[in-house]
Structure 1
Amino acid sequence: MLTASTAYAADNAFFGWYGVSAHGRLDKLSPALENFSWSVLNQARFSHHAQEKFANNSNRLAEYLLFIQFNYHFNDQLHVGLGYTRDWLDTFNENRAYEEIGWQSEPFEWGRLMTRTRLEQRVHDNAKNRNVGWRVRELVQWSYPLPGLPRVALVLNDEVMWYLNSSRWRSDGFAENRVFGGFNFRILPDIQLTMGYLNQFVRKETSKQSQLNHALFTNLDFSF
């Protein structure tokens, strides 16, 4: 876990990340697509702290994202995926293509492990700033069903991000770390709710600056 230290003068901010997602298999369209799946995520990120440039508005929509992804499954544990993200922010918008490979273990008494490696190509909407930022994201997650609560699982994960090149986004190297701790609730067989705390550490343009964000994370997921 990366946190602010004397090496970084960190600014603290408070957010709410609220998402709705859905996923399903494509074999319902054709038996030939039995190894393929799709997923969609719609997420709104609200800022809950005052900023001078926004007239000290402490509750405002800071970012809105739409993720669309298609996967090929080698088996129940390993998949590769292609996706696209549209990101609307305060001062600009972004188009982001990505590729990923994901793996999850079999469920054991001690829980289940999951890893995901994603390579992103980030493009600024501004025509004058269309150089591509290549970013790698590495996620490791552990989930553990709580004894006596078969529909509730403890979820812990950590995601590290770094750039492979210098671009208008920032210089190459480490960029961000996200640590999450929370719970997954299986409301119905095909509906799950994930809630918890997200700590987001962001390196700004210079090594002496950083941003430490504290976020309430919620996501309602539907399976089809």
Structure 2
Amino acid sequence: MKTASQKIFLAAALALAPVNMAAADDFQLWTAVAANGPVEEDGRFLVWFDGHARFRDDAGDLGVSILRPGVGWRLNRDLSLWAGYARVVSRQENAADVEENRLWQQATYGVGDVLGGSVTGRSRLEQRFIDGGGDTGWRVRQLLRYSRPLTGTPLSAVVSNETFIAFNDTDWGAASGYDQSRNFVGINYKATDHLAVESGYMLNHIRRDNAADAFNHVVSVSLNLSL
């Protein structure tokens, strides 16, 4: 007999699974390391860093690398405000790499407790600058994440959605409106009080104006350090 936690996890996996696997454009592997938290124990001043290596073409080639540092301020237990910079390099098969600089601002917050787990959110605003482009792309990203501990284990079932909306068209190809979404289901393993490993499946849908939309099937693995 399945436990309540197993039933929730199975239902989430089925809900996030792509309807038509034949529509997949690519299998990818996304890896990440992240660290964030207060500079001093129980302090209000916060630091943030995440780095990414994303492999495309059946996980055979490095496609995207990201370095994203930032700082923040904890307003209270449930709300923190952040700002930072990101360097993003997207490698192209038959063209020069696309090099992008971003400024970003975000709020991270607790939403509430649901079905024995917790819902958290992250609202991020980005200003995107592409080398060789003259326009600044404005984009908002909304993340909602549900995590439920699996009783008697250091594991938690995790489900999340992040949706990207662009505010404007640019001369380097960004189009206003819905940009992409990332739907994730996986397991978080809490190795210590400060270190966790999270892995699972992500369906990444990308809107394309002049071609068929992309559906990337991603194995996602991240190492997360809480300061």
TM range (shorter): 0.7 to 0.9
| Structure 2 match to 1:42 | 51
Q: CA deviation at 1:76?
A: 1.2
- Listed as ranges, the gaps of 5+ residues in structure 1 are 50-57
Q: Does 2:68 match 1:82?
A: no
Query: In structure 2, what is the Cα distance between the partners aligned to 1:37 and 1:221?
Result: 15
Aligned mates of 2:109, 2:25 — CA distance in 1: 33
Residue 143 (structure 1) aligned with residue 158 (structure 2): no
**1:102 corresponds to which residue?**
108
TM-score of the pair, normalised by structure 2:
0.83
Q: For residues 4 and 152 of structure 1, do their structure 2 counterparts lie closer, same or farther at Cα, with a shift above 3 Å needed? A: closer
Aligned-partner residue type, residue 98 of structure 2? F
CA RMSD of aligned residues (A): 2.4
Please say if residues 55 and 62 of structure 2, whose CA atoms lie closer than 8 Å, have aligned partners that are also in contact.
Answer: yes
> Structure 2 regions of 5+ residues with no counterpart?
1-14, 92-96
Match among 37, 42, 54 for residue 24 of structure 1: 37
- 1:157 deviates by 0.4
Change (3 A) 1:3 1:165: farther
Normalization by structure 1: what TM-score?
A: 0.84
Residue deviations 1:118-146, cap 9 Å, x none?
Answer: 110011022xx131110011111110001
- Give the C-alpha shift of residue 161 in structure 1: 0.6
Separation of aligned partners in 1, 2:139 and 2:160? 19
Q: Which residue of 1 aligns with 2:136?
A: 132
Note the C-alpha offset of 1:47.
1.3
Matches within 5 A, 1:42-61: 42-49=51-58, 59-61=60-62
* Aligned length, in residue pairs: 206
Q: Which amino acid aligns with 2:155?
A: V
CA shift for structure 1 position 192: 0.4
1:109 to partner: Cα distance? 5.8
Q: Is the 8 A contact 1:11 1:210 kept in 2?
A: no
Match of 1:53 in 2: none
Q: Counterpart of 2:206?
A: 202
Provide the residue aligned with 2:182 in structure 1. Answer: 178
Q: Which amino acid aligns with 1:64?
A: S
Q: Which residue of 1 aligns with 2:223?
A: 220
Letter in 2 for 1:215: V
One-letter amino acid of the counterpart of residue 68, structure 2? F
**Is the alpha carbon distance of 1:3 and 1:105 closer, same or farther for their aligned partners in structure 2, counting shifts above 3 Å?**
closer
CA distance in 2, matches of 1:82, 1:213: 29
Q: Percent identity?
A: 27
